[in-house]
Amino acid sequence: MSNDQPAILGGRAVFEETIPLTRPTTVGFGAISRELEALLSSGRLTNGRYVASLERLAADYLEVDEAVAVSCCTSGLMLVLRALDLEGEVILPSFTFAATAHAVVWNGLEPVFVDCDPATYAIDPGCVEAAITPETAAIVATYIFGNPPDMTALEEIARNRDVRLIFDAAHAFGSYYGDRHAGTFGDAEVFSLSPTKPLVAGEGGLVTLRSPELAWRLRIGRDYANPGDYDCQFIGMNARMPEISALLAVKNIERIEDTIRRREEIASRYCELLRFVPGVSFQYVPEYCRSTYKDFSLFIHPLEFGIDRDLLGLALAEERISTRRYFYPPVHLQTAYARWRPTGEDRLPMTMYVAKNVLSIPLYTDMQESEVEGICRAINRIQSNAREISELSNAKALSSPADRGVLGRMAPARGR
Ligand SMILES: *Cc1c(COP(=O)(O)O)cnc(C)c1O
């Protein structure tokens, strides 16, 4: 049998052990053991020096006035919307992670989903503009996989139409737009420090902003909105970051530039090795931007590639390569959002086009060159044999309609 036969057609899998989609970028136990021991015996496990020091380091690095540490990006987004005391509608993308929209609905605000740009995958400013009504209170935009949305256009819309502008910057610690860091735009930006994101605390989030008044509301908001005298100022919550998480993030933030640089290298290696594969294209990151490549995704044009994104995911699984359909289904099609589904003419065609055709492939900071090459070799040989794979898949689907399951096997994304 030919060496270049894909595993799905009976060839030998490229990898012996499964390549994960991602791995946390973090220092090891040795780097924190001394501080951890001191921290545990100090008796101060929350609201202590490491949270304060993480906030200072993050604000310095991002060149922003205020950074407020919280328990996660979701709680940070919820608190920002709450602290701004908004009412009415919030315009947001559907091509994003569900937490962006959850934060809106938890606050009793109405989500208004708009379409994305098919090249950058970010919210389309033209669609934002068209969706503004007298009820619009805010726009929430996401950095998709670390790629900044069109900041210039969004800031202009927010200014002209007098609405708040908030960013789900979960993927974007270390991203740039022009010469400005992610974290310096809009009324507030919210980062995630969970294990799959570029800066890792274990679980955690960071809200960055310029207004000292809003920063104060967030600081009390993460503490039930109790300013210290038990006279709560609004309906807050417990969204404090534990000291242990802050300690880990303090250590990891020291290496953030190396982390992003390495991720950029891996991404450009992927582009180099996959550029000539028929039917593969990449997310467009404008040259004046920097992406963290929280994820690296391929856009699969099924006619040119020979099989679709789902079948490619299945064929890669046979090669022991993990993939994920970020973000599918898009938020407006998820069960929880049935009430807020856009109707009529505009059914978010670009969102559907992107959500149905992109596939995230493995990218983690300590990835080896041999892993990148092996993944690209697998994609190449799958594409070269796409017609045969497609025939096999059709035959299987016909012979066992019950387990239409060739695709079923890669069905909904499992948790991390
Ligand atoms: C991970 C993620 C979140 C949620 O972050 P948590 O810290 O887990 O709450 C929100 N938005 C996007 C786009 C994400 O990828």
Per-residue pLDDT at 344 = 61
| Amino acid identity at 258 | D
Identify the weakest region by mean pLDDT among 101-105, 270-274, 404-408: 404-408
Per-residue pLDDT at 290 = 98
CA 280 to centroid of ligand 1, rounded, Å: 27
Evaluate if residue 407 carries a pLDDT over 50. no
Q: Whose structure tokens read 């610690």? A: 173
Per-residue pLDDT at 194 = 98
More confident residue, 185 or 343: 185
How far is residue 185's CA from residue 199's CA, in Å, rounded to a whole number?
19
CA 292 to centroid of ligand 1, rounded, Å: 15
* Average pLDDT for the chain: 94
Evaluate if residue 406 carries a pLDDT over 50. no
**Three-state SS for 46?**
strand
Q: Which protein residue's CA is at the shortest distance from atom 1 of ligand 1? A: 170
User: Percent of the chain having pLDDT more than 70?
Assistant: 94
**Three-state SS for 364?**
coil
- What is the rounded average pLDDT of the residues 221-232? 98
Q: Are strands 205-209 and 66-70 parallel, antiparallel or unpaired?
A: antiparallel
Q: What atom of ligand 1 comes closest to residue 100's alpha carbon? A: 11
Q: Which of 22, 72, 74, 78 to mutate to test the pocket of ligand 1 (most atoms within 8 A of CB)?
A: 74
Evaluate if residue 413 carries a pLDDT over 70. no
Per-residue pLDDT at 319 = 98
Under 8 Å between Cβ of 378 and 321: yes
CA 371 to centroid of ligand 1, rounded, Å: 27
Identify the weakest region by mean pLDDT among 219-223, 363-367, 397-401: 397-401
CA 16 to centroid of ligand 1, rounded, Å: 31
CA 399 to centroid of ligand 1, rounded, Å: 41
Q: What are phi and psi of 341, to 5 degrees?
A: -70, 130
**Angle (nearest 5°) at CA 160 between 206 and 190:** 5
In the structure, what pLDDT confidence band is assigned to residue 3 with cuts at 50, 70 and 90? low
For residue 145, whether the previous peptide bond is cis, meaning omega lies within 30 degrees of 0, is no
Q: Which protein residue's CA is at the shortest distance from atom 5 of ligand 1? A: 73
CA 99 to centroid of ligand 1, rounded, Å: 6
Strands, DSSP E only, in 261-396? 280-282, 289-290, 296-300, 358-361
Per-residue pLDDT at 342 = 82
User: Residue 50: which residues within 8 A CB-CB, separation 6 or more?
Assistant: 39, 243, 246, 247, 250
Evaluate if residue 293 carries a pLDDT over 90. yes
Identify the weakest region by mean pLDDT among 155-164, 202-211, 393-402: 393-402
Alpha-carbon 334 to chain mean position: 17
Q: What atom of ligand 1 comes closest to residue 205's alpha carbon? A: 7
CA 196 to centroid of ligand 1, rounded, Å: 9
How far is residue 343's CA from residue 403's CA, in Å, rounded to a whole number?
32
Per-residue pLDDT at 320 = 98
Identify the weakest region by mean pLDDT among 118-127, 234-243, 403-412: 403-412
Burial pattern 185-203, b for ≥16 Cβ within 10 A else e, equals bbbbbbbbbbebbbbbbbb
In the structure, what pLDDT confidence band is assigned to residue 4 with cuts at 50, 70 and 90? confident
Per-residue pLDDT at 218 = 98
Evaluate if residue 346 carries a pLDDT over 70. no
How far is residue 143's CA from residue 176's CA, in Å, rounded to a whole number?
11
Evaluate if residue 345 carries a pLDDT over 80. no
Q: Which protein residue's CA is at the shortest distance from atom 13 of ligand 1? A: 97
- What is the rounded average pLDDT of the residues 291-318? 98
Per-residue pLDDT at 252 = 98
Evaluate if residue 24 carries a pLDDT over 60. yes
Per-residue pLDDT at 400 = 60
Q: Which protein residue's CA is at the shortest distance from atom 2 of ligand 1? A: 170
- What is the rounded average pLDDT of the residues 58-80? 98
Evaluate if residue 226 carries a pLDDT over 90. yes
Under 8 Å between Cβ of 285 and 149: no
In the structure, what pLDDT confidence band is assigned to residue 2 with cuts at 50, 70 and 90? low
Per-residue pLDDT at 414 = 38
Evaluate if residue 409 carries a pLDDT over 80. no
- What is the rounded average pLDDT of the residues 91-98? 98
Q: Which protein residue's CA is at the shortest distance from atom 10 of ligand 1? A: 99
CA 37 to centroid of ligand 1, rounded, Å: 30
In the structure, what pLDDT confidence band is assigned to residue 343 with cuts at 50, 70 and 90? confident
CA 243 to centroid of ligand 1, rounded, Å: 20
- What is the rounded average pLDDT of the residues 177-206? 98
Q: Which of 168, 175, 240, 292 to mutate to test the pocket of ligand 1 (most atoms within 8 A of CB)?
A: 168
- What is the rounded average pLDDT of the residues 242-258? 98
Tokens at residue 294, please?
Answer: 């929280």
CA 70 to centroid of ligand 1, rounded, Å: 13
Q: What atom of ligand 1 comes closest to residue 197's alpha carbon? A: 1
In the structure, what pLDDT confidence band is assigned to residue 196 with cuts at 50, 70 and 90? very high
How far is residue 50's CA from residue 27's CA, in Å, rounded to a whole number?
16
CA 125 to centroid of ligand 1, rounded, Å: 22
Q: What atom of ligand 1 comes closest to residue 204's alpha carbon? A: 7
Q: Are strands 289-290 and 176-177 parallel, antiparallel or unpaired?
A: antiparallel
Per-residue pLDDT at 272 = 98
Evaluate if residue 277 carries a pLDDT over 60. yes
User: Residue 28: which residues within 8 A CB-CB, separation 6 or more?
Assistant: none
Evaluate if residue 291 carries a pLDDT over 60. yes
Tokens at residue 244, please?
Answer: 């242990």
Per-residue pLDDT at 114 = 97
Under 8 Å between Cβ of 310 and 409: no
Ligand 1 pocket: which residues have CB below 6 Å?
72-74, 96-97, 99-100, 142, 168, 170-171, 192, 194, 205
| Amino acid identity at 65 | D
How far is residue 311's CA from residue 317's CA, in Å, rounded to a whole number?
10
User: Residue 63: which residues within 8 A CB-CB, separation 6 or more?
Assistant: 180, 181, 184
More confident residue, 398 or 397: 397
